[in-house]
Structure 1
Amino acid sequence: STMYAGGALGKGPEHYDIVSKGMSDMGYFTATWTPGRFPLTDVLSLAAWVDGKDVATEIGNAMYERVLKKEFPGVKMIELNGCIQAFMWTKKPVKTLEDVKGLKIRSPGGHQTNYIKALGAEPIFMPLGDVYMGMETGTIDGIVTCPPLIISFKLYEVAKHAVVSTFGCVSEGVIMNAESWKKIPDDLKPTVDAVCHNPFKTTGGLTRDVYKKMVTEITDKKVQLYNLPEKEADRWYEKFQDVTRKWVEELEAKGLKAKEVVKMYNEECEKRGVKVAAFPKEWR
Structure 2
Amino acid sequence: MRTLKTPLTGLAAAALAATAAMADGHATTTLRVQSLFPQESPSGQLAQQFVDNVERMSGGEIDIEIFYSSAVVKSVETFDAAVSGILDCDMTGASYQTSKNPAFQFIGDIMGGYDTPYQQLSWLYYGGGMDAAQELFHAYDMHLVGWWVPGQESLSSSRPLRNVEDFKNWKFRSPPGMETKIFEKLGASPIVMDFTEVFTALETGIIDGADAAGIATNVSLGLFDIVEHATFPGFHSMPSDHLACNKAVWDGLPDDHRAIIEIAMESLALRTALTFEKVNAEAAAELAAKGISIYNWTAEDRAEFRAVAQETWHEFATTPEAKALVESHLGYLRQLGLTSE
Task: Determine if contact 2:75/2:194 at 8 Å carries over to the other structure.
Answer: no
Please say which of residues 203-212 and 87-96 is displaced more in the overlay.
203-212
Q: What is the aligned length?
A: 271
Structure 2 residue matching 1:176: 3-state secondary structure: strand
Maintained 8 Å contact 1:40/1:261: no
How far did 1:260 drift?
A: 1.5
Distance 1:214 1:184 in 2: 40
Partner of 1:159: 227
The correspondence for 2:167, drawn from 96, 100, 121, is: 100
Q: Aligned residue for 1:208?
A: 277
2:151 matched residue in structure 1: 84
Query: Aligned in 2, Cα 1:267/1:175: closer, same or farther, shift over 3 Å?
Result: farther
Deviation per residue, 1:239-269 (Å, 9 max, x gap): 2232224224x346x884354223145258x
Q: Is the 8 A contact 1:118 1:240 kept in 2?
A: no
2: distance between equivalents of 1:267 and 1:153?
A: 37
Residues 82/160 of structure 1: CA separation in 2 closer, same or farther (3 Å cut): same
1:223 and 2:292 matched: yes
Residue matched to 1:68? 133
Alignment TM-score, normalising by the size of structure 2: 0.67
Please give the alpha-carbon distance, in whole angstroms, between the structure 1 residues aligned to 2:193 and 2:265.
31
- Decide whether the 8 Å contact of 1:163 with 1:226 is kept in 2: yes
Would you say the 8 A contact 1:108–1:125 is kept in 2? Answer: yes
CA distance in 2 between counterparts of 1:78 and 1:140 reads: 35
Q: Are 1:107 and 1:124, in contact at CA under 8 Å, matched by a contact in 2?
A: yes
CA offsets 1:224-249 (integer angstroms, 9 cap, x no match): 2112233333333322232224224x
Selected match of 1:139 from 206, 213, 224: 206
CA distance in 1, matches of 2:201, 2:255: 51
Report the counterpart of residue 244 of structure 1 in structure 2.
313
Could you say if the C-alpha distance between residues 59 and 207 of structure 1 is closer, same or farther in structure 2, counting changes exceeding 3 Å? farther
State the one-letter code of the partner of 1:46: I
- The separation in 2 between residues aligned to 1:33 and 1:138, in whole angstroms, is 24
Instruction: Indicate the residue corresponding to 2:29 in structure 1.
Output: none
Instruction: Report if aligned partners of 2:161, 2:167 keep a CA contact under 8 Å in 1.
Output: yes
What code does the residue aligned with 2:328 have? Answer: V
Asked whether the equivalents of residues 49 and 168 of structure 1 are also in contact (C-alpha less than 8 Å), the reply is no
Q: Is this contact kept in 2: 1:94–1:161, CA < 8 A?
A: yes
Query: For residue 9 of structure 1, what is the aligned residue in structure 2?
Result: 72
Stretches of structure 1 lacking an aligned partner (at least 5 in a row): none
Q: What is the distance in 1 between the residues matched to 2:71 and 2:93?
A: 16
C-alpha distance in 1 between matches for 2:271 and 2:253: 21
CA spacing shift, 1:219–1:129, aligned 2, 3 Å: farther
Range that drifts further, 182-191 or 147-156:
182-191
Residue equivalent to 2:28: none
Amino acid at match of 2:167: V
Compare CA radii of gyration and give the structure with the larger one.
Answer: 2
Structure 1 distance, partners of 2:177, 2:149, is: 12
**Identity over the aligned pairs, expressed in percent?**
19
- Pair 116,211 (structure 1): closer, same or farther in 2 beyond 3 Å: same
Structure 2 regions of 5+ residues with no counterpart?
1-62
> 1:119 & 1:186 partners in 2: Cα distance?
48
CA displacement at 1:103 relative to structure 2 = 1.6
TM-superposed CA distance for 1:204, in Å, is 7.7
Residue aligning to 2:39: none
Question: In 2, distance between residues paired with 1:255 and 1:186?
Answer: 31
Q: Distance in 2 between matches of 1:82 and 1:265?
A: 17
Provide the rounded CA distance (Å) in 2 between the counterparts of 1:133 and 1:241: 32
* Partner residue in 1 for 2:247: 178
Deviates most, 123-132 or 108-117: 123-132
How big is the alpha-carbon RMSD for the aligned residues of Structure 1 and Structure 2?
Answer: 3.2
Which secondary structure does the structure 2 equivalent of 1:3 belong to? strand
Question: Quick one: distance in 2 between partners of 1:130 and 1:22?
Answer: 26
Give the deviation of 1:101 after TM superposition. 0.9
TM-score, length of structure 1 as denominator length: 0.78
Provide the residue aligned with 1:18 in structure 2: 81
Partner of 2:110: 46
Contact 1:90 1:141 (C-alpha < 8 Å) held by counterparts: yes
Distance (Å, rounded) in 2 between the aligned partners of 1:12 and 1:214:
26
SS of the residue corresponding to residue 257 of structure 1 reads: helix
* Alpha-carbon distance in structure 2 between the residues aligned to 1:22 and 1:57: 29
